[in-house]
Amino acid sequence: MRNIMGISVYGRAMSNWKPKLNCGLNLASMLPMIIFPNNRLSKTNALVIGFIACLLASMSLTVRAAQPSLDQLLTTEDARHLFSRTGFGYSLAQHDQAGGLTRREAIDLVMQGFATNPSVAMPAWVTADAPFHWARRDMNRTQRVRFERDRDQELAQLRQWWISEMLQSPSPQTERLVLFWHDLMATSYHGVNYQSLAMAKQNAMFRQHGLGNFGDLLKALIRDPAMLNYLDNENSRKQSPNENLARELLERFSMGEGNYTEKTVKEAARALTGYSVSHDYNLSFRFETWKHDTGDKELFGQTGKFNGDDLVDLILKQPASAEFIAGRFWHLLVSDSQPTQADIAPLVEELRSNQFDLATLYQSILMSEAFWQTDNRIARVKSPIILQVAAARSLEYPKLRWQTIPVTSASIGMSIFAPPNVSGWHEGTAYTTAGRLKQRNNVIDMLLGLKASGDASNASMVANEMQSLMGDSMMKASGITLTMAAEDYHGPVKYRVELRRGDDALWESADRIWMHGHDTLQFGRVNDMSNMPWQHTSVTPPIEHIERADKVRVYFLNDTAGRNGDRNLYVRGVSLKDNYFVGSSGTQQSTCVPKNSADAGNLYCNGYVDIPINIVALSENINTSNPYQVGNVRVRWGNVGKGSGKNRSRLELTLETVKAPDQQWRNIGIAMYSNSAEHADLRIDTYSCWPDCFVSTDECLWLDEIDGVTQTWVFPLDDEHQCHYQSLDDKERRLVDAIWMSLPEFIDHAAIAEKDRRYAKVLALWKQRIQTQQGNLNESRYAKANNRFVFNSALLRKVQPPAIVQAPEVLITAMDQLQSQLKLRGISVFDLLLPGVNVSAFPQLDASLQQPLVQQLRAYSHHAVSQLY
């Protein structure tokens, strides 16, 4: 069957696709082969004849009377419509795959192709421990800028990862769906205090729940760390509930405006109090029950002690919620314009009967007549991401420019992971306003290679330029890898790398051109560091020079700027031998040295940055012999009671990067509690340690009655609560011993580390209390093993090298290669690019078929239909 459509160069058909041919289809596909065994017939004609034969066959059979249209053989236009609506454009691989399917089979193919995991792994930092966001409070400006730049870089990588996934995923429908949820349940990196990890987790959450049960998705959403931060629910407590999340949940995520009262918002906010994030538990959801309002709430005419899950369940019982989500999916799949009641009613009914199964909703829309109608085949404006990713997936070679897709997309109004506000991006013709239309044309012309190097008519030159974009992004095993980004202006950045020892240059590279820059002349400056197109490049100096060198110097050689742009080089860091050295640790020599040393490496003028590569300094001090080590101790919170409670005090400390025999923790959070000068206990709960400190459960442990999950282990100095300690195994007990015995040092250390001395008073009180109790402590069970922590700041110093986002595989790297692939299949470029309407509907495009491919592409990019699908 696939032979009729041309020989596939891909062989990447979805593995779970097992074509089920019906009688009519078999006949249809075999017929031309039987009639024209020598294959003298052109492939297009074969398809037409096959199609007619199929129609005849299905007319004579009329098996499925209810919806005969679904058993029609998919035309090329149908296939384009289905795949570009559910995914990004229509690729050669999809074209090869779709031949001979009926509409119904093609829908099955789409439905079976959804995935909950991405095909390209997320950057490595996503699965590593979260950075200590709480530490920002105690940082000086340079440290803070460095911390923020690191998060910005992670986000830049996350953007590149997602674009890469969109470009090469075998399941574009998944990516479109995740993008849809990201837009509908909008959260911006710029509104979550640099928590790049939370943004990554949210993306994974949408994959997990995006096509499952809508109620489950909403319940995951009110537990999503990024959303909880973005809509200010983290600190929402019963004394002062914050209404933001409650309001948006009702208005934008589940029901729509006008379907609830202000009173409902207030009551919903109470139900959501305590839905927060545990920083100690690696930035995960935590139901902070002490902040939760356990009282009665009145929601939609019902009264009860409702929590967030109850709220979601009640929302889904309201008629508006099914209409809301059916309408949003309808927009996703059918049209930017409003659906009619007749379009929505059956979907709503089905949603209610199947408890909001989103896969069924999705499938039902694809199976509806409305979906296939000609009117709805040009019915949506391409968002900036779809505009670019669709073109790249259809034509392949534009994938070579993948690194700058996030930032060019931002320049035309869609910065992924940073929607403008909680209502997401303004879709539809808001993307094609006068202010943006010209820029959209520029973006697409550049991506298609119609603008490169000035002379666009020279296709081979374009091809050469694109070709040179390949290969540079691979990290080489030996040698030195640089992580850099650039802004271009009238041409790319020229740079040179040197290895130095003291004042001597040991080795220098040739002058090199950085091919991954963002064109500021066309698209403006990058502005947002989290949109920098970071890439890696390697240099391979002789090994003896690498071993002798004490710094890497990177020169920026061809600075230029004008009123409409600027050429700059950003050197983020150097990796060698498993070590990573950040550019901001270096020193810059140029005519415009940045004011903040954390910005060393941002070369805005000709000059260089020296990055020290002292491997010895990194490793020293790491191997102390003491089995219990801690990187730092920081006070997180503390207070002293007033009035009659003035003897009461609570002090919360976090041990940052903790080592014990065979174990390591990102952090251990401890709470010290005391109600008199003679009393003190140490408390650790389920959310204190990452990873978990203890595995024991015992009936005597304190269990939180509201969430029914959180256990607290209490370790007093006196004889109370013996069984908490007893419930631990030996290793766990030794950890508790070491913490108790090191408390005096912890308190001293925390007092030094705390920059604003907000907790000076409570720390002083605790210092005194522990001193008073020192005798008891030395007599206690905690003293027996004689374990103590030592401080080892080297534990904190290890910097992870930046993640590498692999370039997408590009199967066709030039326009002329595309030409021959099209020829092989007997199709034109419009059979890939147009929405589900035949090219004959557009006379200018049709006429351009007589011209070279580059002219066809130009005709397309200037035609309004290129903006739509």
Partner 1 sequence: MNRRNMLMQLLGFGATGLSLNNNNLLADQLQVNGQRLILLELSGANDGLNTLVPHSDEQYYSLRPNIGLPKSAIIMLDDDFALHQSLKPLMQLWEQTELAWVHGLGYPKPNRSHFKSIALWETGGDGKADGERGWLTHDIEHAYGQRLSDAHGISLVDDMAVFDSPDGRWLSMKSASKLLQTDYKPTDSEGFTNPLLKRVEQQSHELESMLASLSSKLDKVADVKKMPATGLGRQLSEVIRLIRAGLDTPVYRIRIGGFDTHENQLGRHARRLSELSEAVAATRLTLKQDNEWDNTLIISYSEFGRRAAENKSGGTDHGTAAPHFLAGGALNGGLYGRSPDLSNLIDGDPAHTLDYRSLYEQVLSGWFNIGENQFSGYQSHELNTLFKQV
Residue numbers of the site for partner 1 (CB under 8 A)? 141, 188, 190-191, 232, 243, 247, 336-337, 375, 378-381, 411, 413, 420-423, 426, 428-430, 432-438, 441-442, 524, 527, 563-564, 756, 837, 840-844, 859, 862-865, 867-868
Nearer to partner 1, 241 or 586 (CB): 241
In the complex, minimum distance from the CB of residue 395 to partner 1, in angstroms, rounded to a whole number? 19
* Angstrom distance (rounded) from CA 383 to CA 399: 18
Nearer to partner 1, 363 or 441 (CB): 441
119: closest CA among 164, 180, 179? Answer: 164
In the complex, minimum distance from the CB of residue 374 to partner 1, in angstroms, rounded to a whole number? 9
In the complex, minimum distance from the CB of residue 782 to partner 1, in angstroms, rounded to a whole number? 38
* Collapsed DSSP state (helix, strand, coil) of residue 382: coil
Alpha carbon separation from 34 to 29, 30, 824 (Å, rounded):
9, 6, 21
Contact indicator for 389, 405 with CB cutoff of 8 Å: yes
Contact indicator for 822, 815 with CB cutoff of 8 Å: no
* Angstrom distance (rounded) from CA 245 to CA 249: 6
Nearer to partner 1, 191 or 594 (CB): 191
Nearer to partner 1, 36 or 134 (CB): 134
**Residue 858 CB neighbour total at 10 angstroms:** 18
In the complex, minimum distance from the CB of residue 650 to partner 1, in angstroms, rounded to a whole number? 22
763: which residues sit within 8 A by CB, 6+ positions away? 635, 638, 651, 747, 750, 751, 754
* Collapsed DSSP state (helix, strand, coil) of residue 457: coil
* Collapsed DSSP state (helix, strand, coil) of residue 57: helix
* Collapsed DSSP state (helix, strand, coil) of residue 173: helix
In the complex, minimum distance from the CB of residue 410 to partner 1, in angstroms, rounded to a whole number? 9
Nearer to partner 1, 635 or 738 (CB): 635
In the complex, minimum distance from the CB of residue 848 to partner 1, in angstroms, rounded to a whole number? 10
**Beta strand 518-519 with 504-508: parallel, antiparallel or unpaired?**
unpaired
484: closest CA among 469, 476, 472? Answer: 472
Nearer to partner 1, 137 or 501 (CB): 137
* Collapsed DSSP state (helix, strand, coil) of residue 664: strand
Nearer to partner 1, 705 or 756 (CB): 756
695: which residues sit within 8 A by CB, 6+ positions away? 729, 732
In the complex, minimum distance from the CB of residue 297 to partner 1, in angstroms, rounded to a whole number? 19
In the complex, minimum distance from the CB of residue 380 to partner 1, in angstroms, rounded to a whole number? 8
* Angstrom distance (rounded) from CA 327 to CA 339: 7
Nearer to partner 1, 422 or 738 (CB): 422
Nearer to partner 1, 215 or 835 (CB): 835
The rounded radius of gyration (Å) of the Cα atoms in the chain is 31
Burial 749-759 (b: 16+ CB within 10 A, else e): bbbeebeeeeb
Question: Encoding tokens for residue 445?
Answer: 């012309």
Backbone angles phi, psi at 666, to 5 degrees: -60, -45
Nearer to partner 1, 235 or 364 (CB): 235
* Angstrom distance (rounded) from CA 506 to CA 548: 8
**Beta strand 702-703 with 689-690: parallel, antiparallel or unpaired?**
unpaired
Longest dimension (CA), the chain: 101
Dihedral of the alpha carbons of 664, 669, 673, 678, in degrees to the nearest 10: 30
In the complex, minimum distance from the CB of residue 863 to partner 1, in angstroms, rounded to a whole number? 5
In the complex, minimum distance from the CB of residue 843 to partner 1, in angstroms, rounded to a whole number? 5
**Beta strand 284-287 with 275-278: parallel, antiparallel or unpaired?**
antiparallel
* Collapsed DSSP state (helix, strand, coil) of residue 728: coil
* Angstrom distance (rounded) from CA 833 to CA 853: 13
Locus of tokens 């990890």: 197
Nearer to partner 1, 133 or 399 (CB): 133
* Angstrom distance (rounded) from CA 231 to CA 246: 9
Query: From the centroid of its chain, how far is CA 2?
Result: 36
In the complex, minimum distance from the CB of residue 439 to partner 1, in angstroms, rounded to a whole number? 9
In the complex, minimum distance from the CB of residue 433 to partner 1, in angstroms, rounded to a whole number? 5
Contact indicator for 161, 805 with CB cutoff of 8 Å: yes
* Angstrom distance (rounded) from CA 390 to CA 373: 22
Locus of tokens 């691979």: 474
Classify residue 338 as exposed, middle or buried by CB count within 10 Å of its CB (0-12, 13-18, 19+). Answer: exposed
Nearer to partner 1, 390 or 728 (CB): 390
Nearer to partner 1, 8 or 259 (CB): 259
Nearer to partner 1, 246 or 552 (CB): 246
In the complex, minimum distance from the CB of residue 600 to partner 1, in angstroms, rounded to a whole number? 18
Nearer to partner 1, 262 or 503 (CB): 262
In the complex, minimum distance from the CB of residue 339 to partner 1, in angstroms, rounded to a whole number? 15
Nearer to partner 1, 243 or 831 (CB): 243
**Residue 98 CB neighbour total at 10 angstroms:** 21
In the complex, minimum distance from the CB of residue 109 to partner 1, in angstroms, rounded to a whole number? 27
Nearer to partner 1, 238 or 679 (CB): 238
Cis peptide before 172 (omega within 30 of 0): no
In the complex, minimum distance from the CB of residue 373 to partner 1, in angstroms, rounded to a whole number? 11
In the complex, minimum distance from the CB of residue 760 to partner 1, in angstroms, rounded to a whole number? 13
Nearer to partner 1, 378 or 391 (CB): 378
Classify residue 863 as exposed, middle or buried by CB count within 10 Å of its CB (0-12, 13-18, 19+). Answer: middle
**Beta strand 790-791 with 629-640: parallel, antiparallel or unpaired?**
parallel
The region, left, alpha or beta by phi > 0 then psi within -120 to 50, assigned to residue 365 is: alpha
In the complex, minimum distance from the CB of residue 337 to partner 1, in angstroms, rounded to a whole number? 8
